[in-house]
């Protein structure tokens, strides 16, 4: 029976450093777990076993030769939207079928330099648009805690593989909650770094002013470890900020939450929320108080504009970003077209799924000359108000505590015919993207039916140290069970 697949990243680092095992054995155990479980879970869209083992053996050889690197031989899985040189990068879309990444994203290049091994590609909603991973053109992914339910999205494959011990950690991307929401639905940790903390170079763009790469992990400490490696300025992305990383290790050494003021935004605790989710989050908040935090109620009055502003801005940016998929430069091309215009149309008609088309059309509409002022410009103004709201509360609070989602994971199929209902489920996650804040999702219990619930910790931009400290102290003392699969 495989055993190394249950390790955290930090445990794997220690094990390998102490010579307790090899990267090859670790990857071997993960492959065994994947073979046994992934038929049912469906978290991976691509996995080249021979290549993963080759990378692992190369890392082992480097270690024998005396090389020191923080993640040497540690396998990491990657959402199918981030480029890893030589691996497919299909964004779970038909239009990128057969496309191989020609280069490493900066986050990947930094993990590679730190010695990481790239295990395989995680399923997702097509082009990261969705909240259930059901918009994948490849297949559905099931929630390992309850196979009749979705793992969340859009980084659903990344969350499911971590929750099922089919990966030690996986990368996702978060434009409006796509790291935090699947982490909450699958009972793992999800970090959305501040906008600009991690380079977006090599992350296939959905909405460039909102996108961030983020880790999905078994522990908060692992999220810190991966952030440390991936973060920092990048000449290839001018929006990657040239700011020093706070001392994350020091933040995680804090024994309690003494001296921290944590705000409870009134607008995040409203009617309509699932009662069990609300109870689990409230319990976690009381727990944080017992750990030394001072709680204060705060108000973010423009929260009510966030979902509308998010869908206008993200669709506008998506309609521009996805114009590049025209059959000329990437992936699939409709073959029997008479002229180039017909070729573009047929390629895009056949290549994009329904949700992606809906967003491209919506985005083109809100940017069109007759409607630009009425929709796009107003959404940008709302965005400014939302950001200003956060600036005010962060004058009196170090971080905010909130739910990640208003409900537990949906049943498979439940949201398919109701995109608007699905969009509304993003209410607690999109504000942090609109404002550029950092935010963390940590498991905070289960419903009576055994479905995971997430606590969200939102911090000011570039204060990942604060939210990681809160998450780590809470996680250590709450100690919720972490793997959805009990054996085999």
**Catalytically active residues, by annotation:** 79, 154, 178
**What's the CA gap between 469 and 259, in Å, rounded?**
12
Strand-strand pairing, 44-46 and 117-122: antiparallel
Q: How far is the CB of 424 from ligand GLN (least distance, A)?
A: 10
Asked whether the beta carbons of 79 and 112 are under 8 A apart, the reply is no
| 126 contributes a contact to ligand GLN by CB under 6 A | no
Indicate which single residue of 33, 119, 128, 203 sits in contact with ligand GLN (rule: CB under 6 A).
128
Q: How far is the CB of 106 from ligand GLN (least distance, A)?
A: 19
Asked whether the beta carbons of 281 and 455 are under 8 A apart, the reply is yes
Asked whether the beta carbons of 170 and 156 are under 8 A apart, the reply is no
* Nearer of residues 120 and 190 to ligand GLN, judged by Cβ: 190
Residues 377-416 contacting ligand GLN, CB under 6 A: none
| 426 contributes a contact to ligand GLN by CB under 6 A | yes
Q: Please name the residues in contact with 342: beta carbons below 8 A apart, sequence gap of 6 or more.
A: none
Chain centroid to CA 299: 26
* Nearer of residues 65 and 420 to ligand GLN, judged by Cβ: 420
Q: How far is the CB of 22 from ligand GLN (least distance, A)?
A: 36
Indicate which single residue of 27, 59, 129, 277 sits in contact with ligand GLN (rule: CB under 6 A).
129
Q: How far is the CB of 440 from ligand GLN (least distance, A)?
A: 15
| 80 contributes a contact to ligand GLN by CB under 6 A | no
* Nearer of residues 153 and 327 to ligand GLN, judged by Cβ: 153
**What's the CA gap between 44 and 357, in Å, rounded?**
25
* Nearer of residues 128 and 473 to ligand GLN, judged by Cβ: 128
Q: How far is the CB of 25 from ligand GLN (least distance, A)?
A: 35
* Nearer of residues 175 and 303 to ligand GLN, judged by Cβ: 175
| 190 contributes a contact to ligand GLN by CB under 6 A | no
Asked whether the beta carbons of 247 and 463 are under 8 A apart, the reply is no
| 151 contributes a contact to ligand GLN by CB under 6 A | no
Indicate which single residue of 99, 145, 195, 206 sits in contact with ligand GLN (rule: CB under 6 A).
206
Task: Look up residue 236 and give its two tokens.
Answer: 């290839």
Q: Which residues pair with 399 in a beta bridge?
A: 262
Instruction: From 27-35, 62-70, 127-135, 373-381, give the range in contact with ligand GLN by CB under 6 A.
Output: 127-135
Q: Which residues pair with 298 in a beta bridge?
A: 265
Indicate which single residue of 93, 178, 302, 303 sits in contact with ligand GLN (rule: CB under 6 A).
178
Q: How many residues at the interface with ligand GLN, by CB under 6 A?
A: 13
**What's the CA gap between 165 and 142, in Å, rounded?**
14
DSSP H or E run through 440? strand 438-446
Asked whether the beta carbons of 463 and 438 are under 8 A apart, the reply is yes
Give CA separation, 226 vs 72, 213, 245, 252, 285, in Å.
Answer: 13, 11, 12, 14, 26
**What's the CA gap between 11 and 154, in Å, rounded?**
28
Instruction: From 2-10, 170-178, 197-205, 363-371, give the range in contact with ligand GLN by CB under 6 A.
Output: 170-178
Residues 257-276 contacting ligand GLN, CB under 6 A: none
**To 10 degrees, the CA torsion angle through 431, 441, 355, 99?**
120
| 319 contributes a contact to ligand GLN by CB under 6 A | no
| 317 contributes a contact to ligand GLN by CB under 6 A | no
Segments in 121-270 forming alpha helices (H): 156-163, 180-186, 220-230, 248-252
* Nearer of residues 91 and 461 to ligand GLN, judged by Cβ: 91
Task: Look up residue 134 and give its two tokens.
Answer: 């059901």
Residue whose entry in the numeric block shows the structure tokens 């008479």: 338
| 174 contributes a contact to ligand GLN by CB under 6 A | yes
**Strand runs (DSSP E) across 27-68, as ranges?**
44-46
**Strand runs (DSSP E) across 134-258, as ranges?**
169-174, 189-192, 212-217
Q: How far is the CB of 130 from ligand GLN (least distance, A)?
A: 5
Give CA separation, 289 vs 258, 261, 262, 264, 472, in Å.
Answer: 9, 10, 9, 12, 14
Instruction: From 63-71, 128-136, 223-231, 264-272, give the range in contact with ligand GLN by CB under 6 A.
Output: 128-136
| 175 contributes a contact to ligand GLN by CB under 6 A | yes
Instruction: From 96-104, 123-131, 243-251, 254-262, give the range in contact with ligand GLN by CB under 6 A.
Output: 123-131
| 134 contributes a contact to ligand GLN by CB under 6 A | no
Residues lying near ligand GLN in the complex (CB under 6 A) are found at: 128-131, 154, 174-178, 206, 314, 426
């Amino acid at each position: 029976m495989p055993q190394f697949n249950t390790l955290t990243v930090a445990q794997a680092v220690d094990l390998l450093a102490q010579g307790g095992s090899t990267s090859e054995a670790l990857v071997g155990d993960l492959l065994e777990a994947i073979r046994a479980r992934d038929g049912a879970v469906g978290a991976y869209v691509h996995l080249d076993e021979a290549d993963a083992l080759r990378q692992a053996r190369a890392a082992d050889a480097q270690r024998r030769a005396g090389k020191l690197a923080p993640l040497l031989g540690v396998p990491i899985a990657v959402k199918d939207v981030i480029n890893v040189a030589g691996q497919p990068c299909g964004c779970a879309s038909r239009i990128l079928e057969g496309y191989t990444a020609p280069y490493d994203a900066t986050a990947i290049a930094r993990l590679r330099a730190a010695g990481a091994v790239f295990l395989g590609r995680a399923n997702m909603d097509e082009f990261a648009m969705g909240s259930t991973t059901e918009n994948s053109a490849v297949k559905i992914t099931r929630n390992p805690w309850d196979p009749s339910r979705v793992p969340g999205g859009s980084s659903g494959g990344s969350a499911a593989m971590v929750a099922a011990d089919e990966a030690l950690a996986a990368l996702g991307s978060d434009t409006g909650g796509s790291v935090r929401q699947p982490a909450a639905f699958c009972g793992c940790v999800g970090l959305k770094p501040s906008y600009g903390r991690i380079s977006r170079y090599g992350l296939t763009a959905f909405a460039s002013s909102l996108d961030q790469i983020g880790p999905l992990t078994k522990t908060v400490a692992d999220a810190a470890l991966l952030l440390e490696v991936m973060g920092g300025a990048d000449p290839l992305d001018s929006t990657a900020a040239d700011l020093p990383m706070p001392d994350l290790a020091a933040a995680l050494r804090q024994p309690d939450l003494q001296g921290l003021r944590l705000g409870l935004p009134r607008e995040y605790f409203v009617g309509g929320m699932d009662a069990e989710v609300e109870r689990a989050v409230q319990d976690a908040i009381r727990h944080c108080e017992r750990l030394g935090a001072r709680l204060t109620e705060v108000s973010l009055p423009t929260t009510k504009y966030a979902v509308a502003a998010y869908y206008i801005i993200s669709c506008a940016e998506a309609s521009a970003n996805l114009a590049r998929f025209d059959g000329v430069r990437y992936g699939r091309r409709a073959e029997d077209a008479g002229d180039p215009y017909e070729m573009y149309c047929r390629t895009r008609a056949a290549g994009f799924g329904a949700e992606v088309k809906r967003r491209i059309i919506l985005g083109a509409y809100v940017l069109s000359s007759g409607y630009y002022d009425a929709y796009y410009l107003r959404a940008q103004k709302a965005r400014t108000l939302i950001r200003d709201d956060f600036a005010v509360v962060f004058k009196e609070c170090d971080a905010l505590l909130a739910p990640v989602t208003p409900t537990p994971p949906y049943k498979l199929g439940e949201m398919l015919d109701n995109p608007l209902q699905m969009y509304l489920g993003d209410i607690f996650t999109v504000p942090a993207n609109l404002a550029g804040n950092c935010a963390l999702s940590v498991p905070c219990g289960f419903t009576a039916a055994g479905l995971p619930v997430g606590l969200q910790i939102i911090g000011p931009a570039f204060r990942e140290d604060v939210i990681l400290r809160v998450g780590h102290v809470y996680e250590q003392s709450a100690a919720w069970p972490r793997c959805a699969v009990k054996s085999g």
